[in-house]
Amino acid sequence: MSGSWFREELYPHWRQSFQVTRELFRANDGLQEIVLFETPVFGRVLTLDGVIQVTTGDEFIYHEMLAHVPIYAHGAVKTACVVGGGDGGMLREILKHKSVQQAVLVEIDAQVVEFCRTHMPSVSNGAFDDPRTEIVIADGLKYMAETDRKFDLIVIDSTDPIGPGGVLFTEEFYKDCARCLNADGIVVNQNGVPFLQGEEVTDTWRRRRPYYAEVGFYMAAVPTYVGGLMALGWASASTRPGSESLDTIRARFEKAPVATRYYTPDVHKAAFALPKYVQDLIPNT
């Protein structure tokens, strides 16, 4: 923090600043430094090691697109696993679907869960206490390597591939996720901002391609994540979910609607139309 402004410096050539109206919390639990502050437009902002993780102002875009796109594409998600996502926002969106019978949250840092439950309750909105939720405090890499459970959906809600979050972008981890999928199962994750982090798209495609029937990306515009459109990674055990028509997605949404502020069936399909500069980051396209 510098005076009444928080400055995020992800790149040596570009930074963004947020006006701070009040700092609410600051602590270091040995794993990472957690800071929470309030802003005029973005609401409450949570940072880990100086990097913004979630804001109460625009989190709905990110969480809706990582949850509802794969759920409506799959059509029958009953079991889900969220790796990371200690703020509870991903659980909140997944559990809006009555078809989901169980959602496992695998979070490495117990303090993040308790902190967000206490200081940002609107993000989880009761999802931590839903009877379908199981919270596992563990390293996501280790959990996926050792579990014998199978899921219809795995959401990797991680930080960027630097520091502790780096292991969740490795070929080893993607291979283990593929082993933990049911038929037609889907893995999605945040894949950075391609205009500035293009190598993340290329690396993810190459590391996933050997283990999935379909690998790709879709896009969402999240104001907090500076640098343009955000890439969301997609990998599936079959090609069926990714090829569902707009009519099919609309029918599923109309049959089992959920409250959204960003997601619609039309946005769902349009999100897979990649700009040319993103296409150019994917081998063989």
Residue 152 is a catalytic residue: no
Instruction: Give backbone dihedrals phi and psi of 15, rounded to 5 degrees, phi first.
Output: -140, 160
Which pair of tokens denotes residue 3?
A: 């005076």
Question: Roughly what angle, to the nearest 10 degrees, separates helices 246-255 and 59-74?
Answer: 100
What's the Rg (C-alpha) of the chain?
18
The CA distance from 65 to 146, in Å, is 28
Catalytic residue of the set 152, 157, 176, 184 = 157
Residue whose C-alpha is closest to residue 178's, from 142, 154, 202, 143: 154
The CA distance from 209 to 125, in Å, is 36
Residues 6+ apart with CB under 8 A from 148: none
Cβ atoms within 10 Å of 282's Cβ, excluding its own: 18
Active site residues: 157
